[in-house]
Amino acid sequence: MYDYDLLVLGSGPSGQKAAVAAAKLGRRVAIVDRRDMLGGVCINTGTVPSKTLREAVLYLTGLSQRDLYGSSYRVKEDITVADLAARTQHVINRQTDVIRNQLARNRIAMITGTGRFADPHAVWVDAGSGREERITFDKAVIAAGTRPARPDSVDFDDRTIVDSDGVINLQDVPRSMVVVGAGVIGMEYASMFAALGTKVTVVERRERMLDFCDEEIVESLKYHLRDLSVTFRFGEEVASVEKHRTAALCVLRGGKKIVADTVMYSAGRQGQTDDLALEAAGLTADHRGRIQVDADYRTSVENIYAVGDVIGFPALASTSMEQGRLAAQHACGEPARAMPDLQPIGIYTIPEISFVGKTEDELTDSSTPFEVGIARYRELARGQIVGDSYGMLKLLVSPGDGRLLGVHVFGTGATEIIHIGQAVMGCGGTVDYLLDAVFNYPTLAEAYKVAALDAANKIRNITRIDG
């Protein structure tokens, strides 16, 4: 009756996982996306390029080794955009091949072009040939992703004034840069360019950056970035940006003027739903292009689902993948467990941040008793070996039953070792598990035992005095 049992609009992380999950259940599946966007924004302009750029920056600048070899240590003296782009493009090409092979192995049809709804069971696909093809489906998954939001008042030229997708295509490493917005993406790029020697100024209208993170860890990041000559302008807004022949002039609401080679806007993201003709399928999107879904990721139209960044928070590649899988299973009538609430957050600044569970502020606001256990990388043999003297791991522990309430990591490998805490919390484990466990030596994971001992000693002292 239909060309496909499941049609996926978008080939990013959520779209891939939805397609593969349905194919594994024996459904006829196709993905619609542009030829140059296989893998979506994640692979081509977002997550993968930016994280690869970060690794290239860390390696070529020698930044992570300067505690060992001195502050002047560099692998390459004059780092160019070509040096950075070579590694980035290599990884993009490899990842694209992996995705293409995965789709082929699972017999998922890749339909090249842009799709728009014709009705709730059909799309028109424009492959750029001048004629559109009508494709029908039983169920559909919208995984169109997002693009950087661009304020109408700003004249973006993708050279001097850029957004977070365009920053990876700069022609030269700028000598100075203004980053507008101290969110996750803004701070990741601010730290990367600061490591390259760019004089970075961060302008943020709020009084804090990354206000969903542990305050002590955010302060550690700010200290480290200030050491790289980053200037913060909190409680300020950019009133206007003037382009000049060799630079840009940022005028802040408070009257201050900042000259920079490059201005990067990181002002949130907009759902890519404008060209989907949602109304033809009986759907609507909000002013940010986001689509509302229920707990099973089904939209207001019974046979159409939406997943990934296009449905809003948390808009992470990790959660988007799981949303795609769960949506496909529900669409195919397959039972599935809901996604757990316990999800790690990873921020790839330099140094990186990762956490799972509650912050100290959240526990304080909810009047939940907790004790803090801290391990510092400089006290670990592995920390000395890798040259990380600033990293730390913090455990938030319930003094009554020893449950882990939150784990926060700052420094080398933070986004990797956070999963130990996630596993213990997810399995209902307590701090006693970490106290009794034997960790490989020397490792950064050993920080869990050190922090657990610190928390346990504090709890024991309180119990001894308080009874």
Annotated binding residues for NAD(+), written as ranges, equal 181-188, 204, 268
Report in angstroms the alpha-carbon separations of 129 from 3, 133, 372, 426.
Answer: 21, 10, 62, 51
Rounded (to 5) percent helix, strand, coil in the chain:
35, 25, 40
Q: Would you list which residues are annotated within the binding site? A: 51, 115, 181-188, 204, 268, 309
Q: Are 412 and 68 in contact (CB under 8 A)?
A: no
* Closest-CA residue to 353 (of 364, 343, 363, 344): 344
Q: Are 193 and 293 in contact (CB under 8 A)?
A: no
In the beta sheet, which residues pair with residue 376?
A: 392
* Closest-CA residue to 241 (of 182, 164, 153, 179): 153
The number of CA neighbours under 13 Å toward the Cβ of 183 is: 11
In the beta sheet, which residues pair with residue 354?
A: 346, 409
In the beta sheet, which residues pair with residue 196?
A: none
In the beta sheet, which residues pair with residue 251?
A: 240, 257
Q: Are 380 and 448 in contact (CB under 8 A)?
A: no
If DSSP codes are grouped into helix, strand and coil, which group holds residue 308? Answer: helix
Give kind and range of the element (H or E) at residue 4: strand 4-9
If DSSP codes are grouped into helix, strand and coil, which group holds residue 224? Answer: helix
Cα–Cα distance, 404 to 397 (Å, whole number): 5
Q: Would you list which residues are annotated within the binding site for FAD? A: 51, 115, 309
Cα–Cα distance, 267 to 73 (Å, whole number): 35
First to last CA, the chain: 73
If DSSP codes are grouped into helix, strand and coil, which group holds residue 63? Answer: helix
Cα–Cα distance, 323 to 320 (Å, whole number): 5
In the beta sheet, which residues pair with residue 33?
A: 112
Give kind and range of the element (H or E) at residue 113: none
Question: How many CB atoms lie under 10 A from the CB of residue 449?
Answer: 19
User: What single-letter amino acid sits at 91?
Assistant: V
Give kind and range of the element (H or E) at residue 115: strand 114-119
